[in-house]
Structure 1
Amino acid sequence: MGLRIIVVLAVLMGVTGSPTTTVRPETTSVDTAAHPNSIPEMAEETGQNEVFSEEEAAEDVMATGELNPNHYPAQRAAKVVQHYLTTRYGSPYRLFGLHRVHSGNAEDVGDSGRKYQLEISVHEIISNTTQKCSAEVFFPHGQKQESPQVQASCEELLNISTKAQEEALYQQYKMNQTLLSAQNLPDSHGHIEPDMKLLWHLGIVASSFIMLKESSENTLYNMAQVANITQLETEKEQLKFNCHTLLHDMVSQEILHWKLLFAWSPAEGVKVLQMEQLPHCQHCEKPPNTN
């Protein structure tokens, strides 16, 4: 059942699972209704992928100087920007996706880490608004992995106001006589009931905190599924939720299970209170390459 879910979701999201493949931008098409964690420019219409040349593979290792926007070093750094924007500004009515990487440059900063300068287009999924943004991502180096540091300038997208919708949803959830719960968002057929979509959006925003924290130059995270999510009793005007989320590392092809406790209100946004990675499932198969 788990494998079938991941295969369906991979097709739905239109992402490429092999770190040794690339595509050309002129062959791509962008589905504006796609999953906000998808990478549209990395999936060809034909479903076929081109293998890196030796030069391209070397770039993937070196990751310094001017970068090919379609190769993994630039894509990994740009994906971190998406997670950053979602943690800072995401809501049930505002979700960010990486639309395209236009240019990228990487440089070593002494022994402390590597800095990426990027020009990207970010897509706000719900309003169907795309803006070109400048961003900087710094990956610290050291024995202990630290979260990347991000700066991004996307003022136009951040000016989209969703306060009225958020307040109405907050009051609806707060007044629920029966606390909400849901499983398998999306299900094995890629389907989500309409009244569960906003709950799924909350799960996406909360999961972005994990993906931002765990990201490095050797990872590329998408959220695969909210396995289950349960509304808890409201505390101090904060709606609270328990959530079990499945994350897909496109590089290792592993599906990672995380447990989350998070709160949300229109005034405070999404706040992750606890996060815990669940033990690796020894009997679960890795998903195939998602071409």
Structure 2
Amino acid sequence: MDAVRLVEVGARDGLQNETLTLSPQTRVRLLQRLADAGLQTLEAGAFVSPRWVPQMAGSDEVFKALPVRPGVTWTALVPNLKGLEAAIAAGCREVAVFAAASEAFSHKNINCSIAQSLRQYQEVMVRARDAGVRVRGYVSCVMACPFTGPVKPEAVAAVSASLFGMGCYEISLGDTLGTGTPAATRALIQACRQVVPVSALAGHFHDTYGMAIANIHAALEADVRVFDSSVAGLGGCPYSPGATGNVASEDLVYLLDGLGLSHGVDLQALIDTGEFISAELGRPTASRVARALLAKRSLGTMR
């Protein structure tokens, strides 16, 4: 059976865009429950300034509290060499760096040009290699920029090639605004696979326009087999007011089940974890699948 790998980003990319800031202890409980549900690659935190991202404060505590679990990788986002050193000190064995396919977004988000950000990551790659830490690369705004509009696939491919060439083992293509369509997804992957092996490409789709699952299906048809997702659809985008978060992990698992693709995740355990974290945040789950199955479960208990 064809296999798909999920990268669970709820505890980092999801929570950092939620209004409430949860304690490191609650984040550890979330991560443990997600791993218990079968997820094997999980973003556990970010080593960034708590002044800019208060939701990620205490990421060092999170990593030090997480146990070593066979087959499970806890990852962290790092913006620079300082962040990498903090991640290494906390025991992190895999990190991610991030670049944008839009110059305007790069300047707004990290206060430097795309070229400057890529040069900065060169020293990160050298230090990570010396420390035996794997590095994943993110490319944001692969479909559109909130400041300048549509982004050409060729621009995304160029940034992806640079990150892959410097040593990132995998490149996650992020539809930050969630404006992508299946046709645009196919064009994006076609451009990127010319310069990066398709086996090293991952999809990261937001559901702002309700297209995330459709885009994942298009990416699957284009041979992509790694996807980022967020339990309960946690998150959003500060540059797109009202935008929903990443595709919900529950919805992605339901799709994969329907296509007969293996993934190793227990859907019911995932739904229960989504209920847990949604209650902690005081808001309903954004997963359509979770809402439907929880309603069905509730009706069943009433009979």
TM-score by length of 1: 0.29
Please identify which structure carries the higher helix content.
2
